[in-house]
Amino acid sequence: LPLLKGKLEAEGFSCRVIVSNILFYNWFLGGKEPQLCVEEVYDNPLKILSYYGDIEKRLWKKSQEYEGLDVGLRYMNMAKYDRTEFDSVLEAIEDARANPFIEYYDQLIDEEFVGSGAKLIAIAVTFQDQIISAFTLASLLRKKMPKAKIVFGGQMITRCYTTLIEHDGLRQ
């Protein structure tokens, strides 16, 4: 994304990159990131394992607030919905009890997008775990910024392109 941003700016376009994955974890954990300084790791290298475990526990605890959700540092699973079935993805983007991205993106869009004048919004989808999140973001953007053009890209979109464009519900 930084390379694309640089190219677009070199061509005279104004753009901004928002890494919503990292912002999501901060929001999901309530903005209270556990702190670990480099000196602590030098003094006790195993401290990083404890730090990692503490974050995983907090993610698990927060996940319990949503129906069938399991969030870890390396994965995101919504047991109620199958991210590989597009009809299921469409159901997930409307289910606030199971999908934390509805609340998260609703807030993020109001804070970062609405009023920005953005005419084009690109969403990168690299991993399967990001499919429900990405389509949730697109759905909310369509509602809040109907004039903005939304473009998807990334490995998962490339791999699923034909299936995606053939699905009526996802093309909206």
From CA 134, how far away is CA 144, in angstroms rounded? 15
Lowest-confidence pick of 13-17, 25-29, 80-84, 107-111: 13-17
| 113-147 pLDDT tens trace | 998 988 899 999 988 889 999 999 999 999 999 99
From CA 115, how far away is CA 56, in angstroms rounded? 36
Residue 149 has pLDDT above 70, yes or no: yes
Whole-number average pLDDT of the chain: 89
Q: Are 104 and 24 in contact (CB under 8 A)?
A: yes
- Single-letter amino acid, residue 107: Q
| 75-114 pLDDT tens trace | 889 999 998 888 999 999 999 999 999 999 999 999 999 9
Q: Are 141 and 147 in contact (CB under 8 A)?
A: no
Residue 159 has pLDDT above 90, yes or no: no
- Quote the tokens at residue 53: 């475990």
Mean of pLDDT values over 16-34? 85
From CA 62, how far away is CA 110, in angstroms rounded? 23
**Residue 122: CA atoms inside 13 Å, Cβ hemisphere, count?**
13
> What DSSP letter does each residue of 20-35 carry, written as one string?
HHHHHHHHHTTT-PPP
| 47-69 pLDDT tens trace | 888 888 989 999 999 999 999 99
Number of Cβ atoms within 10 Å of the Cβ of 83: 21
